[in-house]
Amino acid sequence: MKRKDKKYILSIESSCDESAASILSNEGLIISNGLYSSSKIHNQYGGIVPEIAIKHQGSVIPMLIQKIINTSGIKKSNLIIISVTAGPGLTGPLLSGIQFAKGFALSNNSFFLGIHHIEGHIGINQNIIADKNNNLFTVISGGHSNTYTIKNNIIIILGETRDDSSGEIFDKIARILNLPYPGGPIINIMSKLGNSNQYKFIIGLKRKKTLDYSFSGIKTSTYNLIKIIQKKNCTIKKPIALHICASFQKTVILSILNKILLACRQKNIVKVFFGGGVAANSRLRQFSKKTYLKTGIKFFFPKKKFCTDNAIMIAKIALNKIKTYKVSALAMPTYPKISIKNKNIISV
């Protein structure tokens, strides 16, 4: 079949500061993919300002869709499914993508399908999973730090964060150190030049049997150290900042791996699949290799560009759903806080 005769899916992801879109064939082949982030604009405010994200998305999403359709060489009439992140995320940014997707689906006579953002982060690994059962899935991102298993196609939450999420504390510590948003990538780079044993921070819920995470202790102990140094010296000099980044990053990684290993022991699991922005962390990937040598537990990571928010992960889940004739109503609302447990209400 020639490319123009095939059926394709267009997907949009705009749950936070990004505008992402992709076109996949109905066999899951990536035809076109693009992403614009407004993170640089948010930098001066030290975090995401939803109004700025919406303004950016309002002009960028239509341009991006036009661009990926043009580069793909596919006729609009062959885009038979339009999928979009329905939630969780920020209400305004979600609405930017959803409203565009609805309008496009309506005018193009395409099926419309809303997708749960976390299901996307979990499902990005689906090509490398032989059997979904008996694996552990960990989504560590700006909004979530959760551990799951899947049984008979049902996602079961084993552990959640009780306070901040792992990505959130990377962003907050970066902000205190006057580093740009998002904090994870820059702390990752700076840590390479620092001594990770220089400072000791608290690993939350370390000796507890729960599979929940807690990151607020690391955040507060790092914050307190920074304030003490700032009080003495006014500004934090470069080598000290590098050591703080490295020691902080190591503690976050050990906190994550600590709970993952506990979950593997409790549930007799030997394969762990990561998703979410923090999974792009190079030190986490190194530690995971070492942990495999010690324990035999295998860790799988998506490509770095598919750890952070992207539209491919939304399209992949939509393709699975359409095979079981799932669609969403054009009246679908945004679901800013929807739990993964309720993901099935998005489509019927």
CA pair distance 278, 155, nearest whole angstrom: 21
Q: For ligand KG4, which residue of 9, 10, 12, 16 counts as binding (CB under 6 A)? A: 16
3-class DSSP assignment, residue 81: strand
> 347 vs 39, 84, 122, 315, 331, CA distance in Å?
31, 12, 18, 14, 11
Decide if residue 164 touches Zn ion (CB under 5 A): no
Decide if residue 168 touches Zn ion (CB under 5 A): no
Decide if residue 278 touches ligand KG4 (CB under 6 A): yes
CA pair distance 102, 42, nearest whole angstrom: 27
Decide if residue 302 touches ligand KG4 (CB under 6 A): no
* Dihedral pair phi/psi, residue 280, rounded to 5°: -75, -10
Q: What is the DSSP letter of 332?
A: -
* Dihedral pair phi/psi, residue 43, rounded to 5°: -45, -45
* Dihedral pair phi/psi, residue 234, rounded to 5°: 70, -60
Q: For ligand KG4, which residue of 167, 194, 204, 217 counts as binding (CB under 6 A)? A: 167
Decide if residue 120 touches ligand KG4 (CB under 6 A): no
Judged by CB, which is closer to ligand KG4: 98, or 105?
A: 98
Site string for Zn ion, 192-231 (x = CB under 5 A): ----------------------------------------
CA pair distance 149, 133, nearest whole angstrom: 7
- In whole angstroms, how close is the CB of 158 to ligand KG4 at the nearest point? 19
Decide if residue 196 touches ligand KG4 (CB under 6 A): no
How many chain residues interact with ligand KG4 (CB under 6 A)? 20
Q: For ligand KG4, which residue of 34, 123, 143, 217 counts as binding (CB under 6 A)? A: 143
Interhelix angle for 238-267 vs 282-295, to 10°?
A: 40
Q: Which tokens hold the place of 348?
A: 């019927």
Longest CA–CA span in the chain (Å) reads 70
Decide if residue 171 touches ligand KG4 (CB under 6 A): yes
- In whole angstroms, how close is the CB of 16 to Zn ion at the nearest point? 7
164 binds, among Zn ion, ligand KG4, none (CB under 5 to 8 A by kind): none
- In whole angstroms, how close is the CB of 331 to ligand KG4 at the nearest point? 26
Q: Which tokens hold the place of 91?
A: 């209400």
Identify the sign of the CA torsion 334, 180, 124, 140: negative
Q: Which tokens hold the place of 150?
A: 């899947």
Q: For Zn ion, which residue of 168, 309, 310, 317 counts as binding (CB under 5 A)? A: 309
Q: For Zn ion, which residue of 38, 72, 141, 288 counts as binding (CB under 5 A)? A: 141
93 binds, among ligand KG4, Zn ion, none (CB under 5 to 8 A by kind): none
48 binds, among ligand KG4, Zn ion, none (CB under 5 to 8 A by kind): none
- Using an 8 Å Cβ cutoff, are 86 and 338 in contact? yes
Judged by CB, which is closer to ligand KG4: 97, or 111?
A: 97
| Binding window for Zn ion (CB under 5 A); candidates: 34-42, 137-145, 166-174, 296-304 | 137-145
Judged by CB, which is closer to ligand KG4: 159, or 183?
A: 183
Count of other CB atoms within 10 angstroms of residue 28: 14
- In whole angstroms, how close is the CB of 276 to ligand KG4 at the nearest point? 4
- Using an 8 Å Cβ cutoff, are 165 and 215 in contact? yes
CA pair distance 55, 31, nearest whole angstrom: 28
| Binding window for ligand KG4 (CB under 6 A); candidates: 179-187, 208-216, 218-226, 264-272 | 179-187
- In whole angstroms, how close is the CB of 227 to Zn ion at the nearest point? 30
Q: Which residues of 230-268 are buried (b: 16+ CB within 10 A; e: fewer)?
A: eeeeeebeeebbbbbbbbbbbbbbbbbbbbbbbbbeeee
Positions that interact with Zn ion (CB under 5 A): 141, 309
